[in-house]
Amino acid sequence: MRSPTRQHSRPPSSPRREIKETLDARLTMLGADKYRVNQYEVNEEVGRGSFGAVYRVIDTITNQEYAMKEISKSRLRRQNNSQLLRARAPGGNGIRGLGGVKGSANKNPIDFIRPEIAILKKLHHVNVADLVEVLDDPEGDSIYMVLEWCAHGVLMKVSLDEPAVPYSEEQCRLYFRDLILGIEYLHSQGVVHRDIKPDNLLLDEDDVLKIVDFGVSEMFERDREEGDMVIRHAGSPAFIAPEQCAIPRVEYSGRAADIWSMGVTLYCLITGKLPFTGESQVEIYSSIELGDYSPLPVGCSPSLQRLLKLLLEHDFRRRITMKELRNDDWVTAAGEDELLSYEENVSDGVSKVTGPDLAAAIRGVAS
């Protein structure tokens, strides 16, 4: 299977358009199960997260399809209060993120999605889903993020209870190359995703892989490999790295943890199953710490099996790096299918997310 042209060269990209902000959005009921938020007519639910649902919507002015992420302010506030209680408990850690330690039970709940919006406003890459508009309903409990629509949906739906149909090894290689380019771009800009999994990887109508959901992402100094150390837990239990399971908590590399999650994701694509399982979160963590996963199916190439071991290296200091990963034999078909250069891939650089960026992420939203 021939790899897509985008993995070898990139035409000059158009400038990142300014993200629209609408701070007086209005919800209009169109019937028992139908409603509209400003010009966006809400259709079926396509996903669900901790703070709300994701819907397919139609812009009734342009007739364009988008995804709309609806976020509950009350759920954000409850999450904030529970985090504060944990942080103040004996031995508790402060809650680190783009804004530093979060510190007030009376904080505007919108402040807890400012980092995600501030990051998305700055990113511009073919393998990262674009943010289009942010809308706040001042009379209601919801804030809305309108995002690029990915018509082919999630890359794979896999869970502890539901295995999925695996992809061929070659199709996995092509999707994984898209993932490498997207994560390499994020890391080059100082962004660690911290929740890489098939659910957060979507396919557009041209089967281009798009990375979504930056709700637990963090941003660091771009040019310092050692400057990405974190201690806060984040991500989905079956996809987190062994260093994130450690008790007591230890500092670890955010970039290396992303690479581990890429390895778990690759295993899922090849087998249709999760490599680390258990009846409870504690059992899943135990499985991860033991590094005990079933071998890949018979017929998988030796180069793929070798790469998976490098991705799922227990010691994050010895885990394969992004530079090594992009040049790996399986990824490049033994050098016959090389990726476009690092310089070309990261050429659309962003500036660091600052305090003023966070403040301007959603301007003028009332508490």
| Residue 44: both structure tokens together | 């079926």
Cβ pair 57, 132 in contact under 8 A? no
Cβ pair 93, 231 in contact under 8 A? yes
Main-chain dihedrals φ then ψ at residue 278, nearest 5 degrees: 175, 165
- A 10 A CB-CB count for 103 gives 13
H-type helices in the chain, by residue range?
73-88, 114-122, 169-188, 254-271, 281-290, 302-311, 322-326, 342-345, 355-360
**Side by side, which strands form the sheet with 153-154?**
153-154, 201-203, 209-211
E-assigned strand segments in the chain:
20-22, 27-29, 35-37, 40-49, 52-59, 65-72, 131-136, 142-148, 153-154, 191-192, 201-203, 209-211, 218-219, 229-230, 252-253
Cβ pair 273, 161 in contact under 8 A? no
The verdict on whether 195 is a catalytic residue reads: yes
Catalytic residue, chosen from 130, 136, 195, 258, is 195
| Distance, CA of 322 to CA of 99 (rounded, Å) | 27
| Residue 193: both structure tokens together | 């995703």
| Distance, CA of 256 to CA of 276 (rounded, Å) | 18
Task: Classify burial at 102, counting beta carbons within 10 Å of its beta carbon; exposed 0-12, middle 13-18, buried 19 or more.
Answer: middle
| Distance, CA of 153 to CA of 155 (rounded, Å) | 7
- SS3 state of residue 193: coil
Query: Degrees (nearest 5) of the Cα angle 157, 83, 356?
Result: 90
- What positions carry a catalytic annotation? 195
